[in-house]
A and B are shown apart, each in its own frame.
Chain A
Amino acid sequence: MEHEYDLAVIGGGIAGLVAGTIASESGLKTILIRKGRGATSYSSGAIDILGNLVESQFPLSPIDALSTTGVIRSTHPYVILGISENNREVHTELIVQRVKDSVKWLQRNLDGLCAEFTGALDQAMEAITVLGTTKPTCFVQKTMDMGNLVKDHDDSNLLFVDIVGHPDFNGRLAARTYAEFQRYADKPVKRVSSCSITITPFGKPYNISSVEVARHLDHSGLPKEALSELRKNIENTGATHVALPPVMGIESANTVLQEIAELGVHPFEVLSFPPSVPGMRLQQSLDAMYLESGGQMIVGHEVVGYDSADDRVSRIIAKSPHRKMKISATSTILATGKFIGGGIKGTESGFKESIFNLDTVDLNYNPTDDLRPQKLTDRVNVQYEGHAVFSVGVPVDRYFRPINYDSQVVYENVFAAGSVLAGYNYLVEKSGLGVGLTTGYTTGLNAMKYIKEEL
């Protein structure tokens, strides 16, 4: 079967879905092909912009961090956003403007969906995680909004709540950890405590999984016993805020939280580890957004090959266990993610991009095609600079088109977005979904220009 499109997007994480939506909402005939789940569905419920500029010695607001990257990093995807059309120089205002535009756009598009989010670019947010630690981020899903827990409140009293037999969140330890952090806070939360409630999707109080609880709550709401356990504990502790496991429903978390709020507290979910219900919400909302824009989506298909002519990719070939498809498109966006998504592979003999066999580079655009992955790791597992291996990806020109080691554009109609890109380490920078969003947004626009022959 042969199919013809204006734009083919390979990959259905945040980068691909945003790019696809932009294109299809402005009338391009768009198809998105994805083989499965990527990092987007693992994410915690927070949308990081740039939480920690590794080179900076002190914390910055996302906007300040963005402005600073332009000065110290020439290969960061955010910096590429800031290259001006006119003089090809990096303008920090342009970086900030592009980020603002794409955030605003996404906020509008997710409005009313389960991954609706809140936050502000000029304020760093310290969101509480399942460990009870806090992480510097920028936006969180509405159900994770901590309200006035640390701001504008003199007597915050936080109650951590966990579910018996649900091992993914231990409220007692989270409370202990968070309470210790409060010692260093300017305006500490006055009291931190914890309790457990019972929610048993299958009638047994053990081996309870996050997704099962969420589905159960979607289906039957918060059980009465759980609500009364909560009420009792809120009364006993005098809690003003309640930190919940991030499992309060996929579709209906807002409703469940409202019910809890009626007990006179401000409830919110903590950031999740995978398997992540907030990650599922995000994935589901982005899917809905894309489909709403009129784009076509093919799931369970892996792009395994392509045809090219005259420096252009003319066709891509996708395969499922049952069939093979040939898709011709005027332009293609590569949004296949990094290692989790499958966009980049690392073997004993080096790294390569998995579909077009594109050249790969590291943080500073040094070649990595024949580097053994181990060489890009540090001896210490969890540390400030992170592992260089996670900044490996494809290098791009100012329009986000992959380039080779000679800095030549490989295919004039192929653009790359999201974590398949090189030049940044989202794990330590805390910038994953932010880069995915903004580069998806920008490559969507660039591909459109290319198709209209305006690039």
Chain B
Amino acid sequence: MADYDVVVIGAGSTGTAVARDCAMRGLRTLLLERDDIASATVGTCAGMISSGLKYMDEPEIVDMCSDEVVHFLRIARHIIMKNPILTPMLEMSDLSSGGNFAEEYSKRAESRDVPPVLFLTPEDSREIEPSLNPEIIASLYFEEYFIDPFRLCILQALDAKNHGADVKTYCELVDIDVKDGKIVGVVYFNRITREEKRVSTHIVINAAGPWASKVAKFAEAKVDLRLNKGAHVILDRRVVNVGVIAKAVDGRMIYLFPHENTTLLGTTAIDTWEDPDTLTASHDEIEYLLQSMEWVIPSIRDARIIRTMEGVRPLVADWKIPEGKVTRGYEIIDHSSQNIKGLISFTGGKLVMCRHMAEAATDLAAEMLRVETECKTHLEPLPGNEDDVDVLALAKEFDISQHAVERLRARRGTETRMILELTKDHPDWKTTICTCEPVIEAEIRYSIRHEFPQTLNDLRRRVRLGTGPCQATFCTYKAAAILADERELSGHDFQLDILDFLSERWKGKRPSFRREQIIQEEVAQGMYACVGNLDLTLGSVYTRKPWEDWS
């Protein structure tokens, strides 16, 4: 008997959804991720689920997304927020395309529990969003849901684990064993223990996003992708009351979304052939976004940029058409057609479709394994969504600010109480470690114990450590001490963890380095270089990250 029925490669939104589905259906499942959960594309996306403005020409996809939103609201309501959105129009021609969208959106509104599209006068629009350009002629009002992409992936992975799957982060697939045209096993390299391991499996599901072609190559199979990069600029607070969608300099649609305590401005779309690991946002992308949004929000440049992020969309390989015309749907490749049995790959897709993609791939896997199964991923709640949470009562009971408890709830749902319970034995764990978010020590300890983070950056994905205006300047060393304490790390590793996180934050800060960001960085360098002396003590042992290398 093989070690596993299914080995899933990649723990982004797609891979974690697949692992959860396979495990829930009783398949013996291994999820391999070379880095951390949600460390790649999915972590750079806006987290918007549904919409349709962008793919109105594909009604079957709009239908699918609409259904998926309903499912998400059932299984993961605690990590979902609803945002009102305005689409201001500056010209008559904008109005006609708006009408089309309004009709398609409104058809599916009821099932998603949102009102139909409204047309608003300039006065009404500006009442809702005073920073809109007074010259707009009308706007569309509608509502969209946003999910925390990091928590979604982590919860899917944890749920897969709860259903018996093995989840291995920092384990990179380095080979696929094929015998007589059939998958028989995989080899992975554990980047922490530096050991290679071979396991046998019947099926490999390749959910490696933009790396899917590379992964397929290990089995001498082929996956065609159209890689397309996109940048976001992140502003320091909620600079708008509602989301704003507008036409960019080249006629594409871009958006400004309030997101947690920040605002996301995105996105660009540029075909790319670069190694996704080395990409950072460019000056051109930042200016493209700012200039485009300036037409409808004239004060946008007064906002403080705290960082940028760049991701690569693994699109279906439709060539010779603009990126916007490429299908937003996904394809599942059964490599039997290339004479390799047991290998399944994805191309295309979106975050909002991840559960649907997983269901389709798991159906195919079950069929290959000749087992009868039933998909339940749209019915059963993800961890934390079992019940309502009374934030006010908890804040009172544990003497913690309401705001901190509400932020905790938005990540944790019913786990909130469990985390707060820890402070009964350790009252000092009520201490706020990251004040921007805020995050208390108890949540960090809980996450370290139960959610297998290896680095501070992994902790960021789990608890939003260091994502606010100070971009981890003040919390890095405090959180590093807690991580080192829990893991019994050496002083050397404690310092390396600090450098590692600073370096990861710098990746996003550097492209938009200007104005207040320079002040913030002088403080950070004052702490970690001038006082902490890490520039002198660790410079020589630090290994450069892919995006820090010149080669």
A interface residues with partner B (beta carbon < 8 Å): 39, 42-44, 46, 48, 52, 129-136, 164-168, 170, 172-173, 176-181, 204-208, 271-274, 338-340, 345-348, 372-374, 377, 379-384, 386-387, 389-390, 426-428, 430, 432
Please classify the interface of chain B as helix (H, G, I), strand (E, B), loop, or mixed, using the class held by over half of its residues.
helix
Whether B529 contacts A428 by the Cβ 8 Å rule is: yes
B518-551 interface with A by 8 A CB criterion? 518-519, 521-523, 525-539, 542, 544, 547-550
Smallest CB separation, B172 vs chain A (Å) = 24
Tell me which residues across on chain B come within 8 A of A181, comparing CB atoms: 491
Report if A427-B485 is in contact (Cβ < 8 Å); known contacts: A164-B428, A206-B430, A339-B518: no
CB contact between B478 and one of A167, A208, A383 (< 8 Å): that residue:
A167
- CA A180 to CA B521, docked complex, whole Å: 29
Smallest CB separation, B485 vs chain A (Å) = 6
Whether A173 contacts B484 by the Cβ 8 Å rule is: yes
- CA A131 to CA B498, docked complex, whole Å: 10
Whether A346 contacts B518 by the Cβ 8 Å rule is: yes
Whether B531 contacts A172 by the Cβ 8 Å rule is: no
Report if A44-B485 is in contact (Cβ < 8 Å); known contacts: A168-B478, A173-B491, A381-B503: no
- Most chain B C-beta atoms within 10 Å of own C-beta, residue among A48, A178, A377, A382: A382
Whether B522 contacts A131 by the Cβ 8 Å rule is: no
- CA A407 to CA B534, docked complex, whole Å: 37
Whether A207 contacts B432 by the Cβ 8 Å rule is: yes
Residue of B nearest to A345 (CB): B515
27 CB-based A-B contacts, threshold 8 Å: A52-B536, A130-B531, A131-B494, A164-B428, A167-B432, A170-B481, A176-B484, A177-B491, A177-B494, A179-B491, A180-B491, A206-B427, A274-B527, A373-B513, A373-B518, A374-B283, A377-B513, A379-B510, A379-B549, A382-B499, A382-B502, A382-B528, A382-B538, A383-B542, A387-B521, A387-B525, A430-B530
Smallest CB separation, B303 vs chain A (Å) = 13
Whether A374 contacts B510 by the Cβ 8 Å rule is: yes
Smallest CB separation, B514 vs chain A (Å) = 5
Whether A373 contacts B514 by the Cβ 8 Å rule is: yes
B75 at the interface (CB under 8 A from A): no
Tell me which residues across on chain B come within 8 A of A46, comparing CB atoms: 531
Smallest CB separation, B190 vs chain A (Å) = 26
Smallest CB separation, B238 vs chain A (Å) = 23
Residue of A nearest to B481 (CB): A170
Residue of A nearest to B429 (CB): A206
CB contact between B477 and one of A131, A178, A180, A379 (< 8 Å): that residue:
A131
- CA A170 to CA B6, docked complex, whole Å: 44
B441 at the interface (CB under 8 A from A): yes
Cβ proximity bits B99-138 to A, threshold 8 Å, 1 near / 0 not: 0000000000000000000000000000000000000000
Smallest CB separation, A408 vs chain B (Å) = 28
Residue of B nearest to A348 (CB): B514
Tell me which residues across on chain A come within 8 A of B482, comparing CB atoms: 170
Report if A380-B431 is in contact (Cβ < 8 Å); known contacts: A52-B536, A374-B283: no
Residue of B nearest to A432 (CB): B530
Whether B522 contacts A340 by the Cβ 8 Å rule is: yes
B193 at the interface (CB under 8 A from A): no
CB contact between A347 and one of B427, B481, B515 (< 8 Å): that residue:
B515
Tell me which residues across on chain B come within 8 A of A426, comparing CB atoms: 530
Whether A180 contacts B531 by the Cβ 8 Å rule is: no
Tell me which residues across on chain A come within 8 A of B432, comparing CB atoms: 167, 207
Smallest CB separation, B119 vs chain A (Å) = 37
Whether B532 contacts A380 by the Cβ 8 Å rule is: no
Tell me which residues across on chain A come within 8 A of B538, comparing CB atoms: 382
CB contact between B533 and one of A136, A172, A178 (< 8 Å): that residue:
A136
B433 at the interface (CB under 8 A from A): yes
CB contact between A374 and one of B480, B513, B535, B549 (< 8 Å): that residue:
B513
- CA A272 to CA B481, docked complex, whole Å: 16
Tell me which residues across on chain B come within 8 A of A132, comparing CB atoms: 491
Smallest CB separation, B288 vs chain A (Å) = 13
- CA A48 to CA B526, docked complex, whole Å: 12
Smallest CB separation, A56 vs chain B (Å) = 12
- CA A380 to CA B490, docked complex, whole Å: 23
Smallest CB separation, A349 vs chain B (Å) = 9
Cβ proximity bits B470-481 to A, threshold 8 Å, 1 near / 0 not: 000000011011
Whether B485 contacts A170 by the Cβ 8 Å rule is: yes
Contacts A170-B481, A339-B518, A374-B512 aside, 8 further interface pairs with beta carbons under 8 A come to A44-B531, A48-B530, A133-B533, A133-B537, A136-B533, A164-B428, A173-B481, A346-B515
Tell me which residues across on chain A come within 8 A of B519, comparing CB atoms: 339-340
Residue of A nearest to B482 (CB): A170
Whether A340 contacts B523 by the Cβ 8 Å rule is: yes
Residue of B nearest to A338 (CB): B522
CB contact between A428 and one of B478, B521, B535 (< 8 Å): that residue:
B535
Smallest CB separation, B501 vs chain A (Å) = 10
Smallest CB separation, B492 vs chain A (Å) = 6
B87 at the interface (CB under 8 A from A): no
Residue of A nearest to B529 (CB): A427
Whether B526 contacts A206 by the Cβ 8 Å rule is: no
Tell me which residues across on chain B come within 8 A of A381, comparing CB atoms: 499, 502-503, 505-506
Smallest CB separation, B379 vs chain A (Å) = 41
B417-434 interface with A by 8 A CB criterion? 427-433
- CA A444 to CA B214, docked complex, whole Å: 66
Smallest CB separation, B201 vs chain A (Å) = 39
- CA A339 to CA B515, docked complex, whole Å: 9
Residue of A nearest to B540 (CB): A384
- CA A48 to CA B534, docked complex, whole Å: 16
Residue of A nearest to B442 (CB): A206
- CA A348 to CA B515, docked complex, whole Å: 8
Report if A167-B431 is in contact (Cβ < 8 Å); known contacts: A339-B518, A345-B515: yes
- CA A129 to CA B498, docked complex, whole Å: 15
B495 at the interface (CB under 8 A from A): yes
- Most chain B C-beta atoms within 10 Å of own C-beta, residue among A42, A46, A134, A167: A167
Residue of A nearest to B432 (CB): A207
Whether B526 contacts A274 by the Cβ 8 Å rule is: yes
Whether B427 contacts A165 by the Cβ 8 Å rule is: yes
Smallest CB separation, B506 vs chain A (Å) = 4
- CA A132 to CA B537, docked complex, whole Å: 12
Tell me which residues across on chain A come within 8 A of B539, comparing CB atoms: 382-384
Tell me which residues across on chain A come within 8 A of B512, comparing CB atoms: 374
CB contact between A133 and one of B429, B441, B484, B532 (< 8 Å): that residue:
B532
Whether A205 contacts B503 by the Cβ 8 Å rule is: no
CB contact between B532 and one of A131, A206, A340, A432 (< 8 Å): that residue:
A131
- CA A374 to CA B399, docked complex, whole Å: 44
Tell me which residues across on chain B come within 8 A of A374, comparing CB atoms: 283, 510-514
Whether B433 contacts A167 by the Cβ 8 Å rule is: yes
Tell me which residues across on chain A come within 8 A of B513, comparing CB atoms: 373-374, 377, 389
Smallest CB separation, B510 vs chain A (Å) = 6
Whether B548 contacts A133 by the Cβ 8 Å rule is: no
Tell me which residues across on chain B come within 8 A of A42, comparing CB atoms: 523, 526
Tell me which residues across on chain A come within 8 A of B537, comparing CB atoms: 133
- CA A207 to CA B440, docked complex, whole Å: 9
Whether B531 contacts A135 by the Cβ 8 Å rule is: yes
Whether B485 contacts A172 by the Cβ 8 Å rule is: yes
- CA A270 to CA B14, docked complex, whole Å: 48
Residue of B nearest to A342 (CB): B519
Tell me which residues across on chain B come within 8 A of A177, comparing CB atoms: 491-492, 494-495
Smallest CB separation, B463 vs chain A (Å) = 15
Tell me which residues across on chain A come within 8 A of B529, comparing CB atoms: 382, 386, 427-428
- Most chain B C-beta atoms within 10 Å of own C-beta, residue among A132, A206, A372: A206
Whether B535 contacts A386 by the Cβ 8 Å rule is: yes
Q: Which 7 A-B pairs have the closest CB atoms?
A: A177-B491, A170-B481, A381-B506, A165-B428, A135-B533, A206-B430, A176-B491
- Most chain A C-beta atoms within 10 Å of own C-beta, residue among B428, B431, B531: B531
- CA A163 to CA B510, docked complex, whole Å: 36
- CA A426 to CA B480, docked complex, whole Å: 26
Tell me which residues across on chain B come within 8 A of A386, comparing CB atoms: 525, 529, 535
- CA A436 to CA B502, docked complex, whole Å: 28
Whether B535 contacts A167 by the Cβ 8 Å rule is: no
Smallest CB separation, A179 vs chain B (Å) = 7
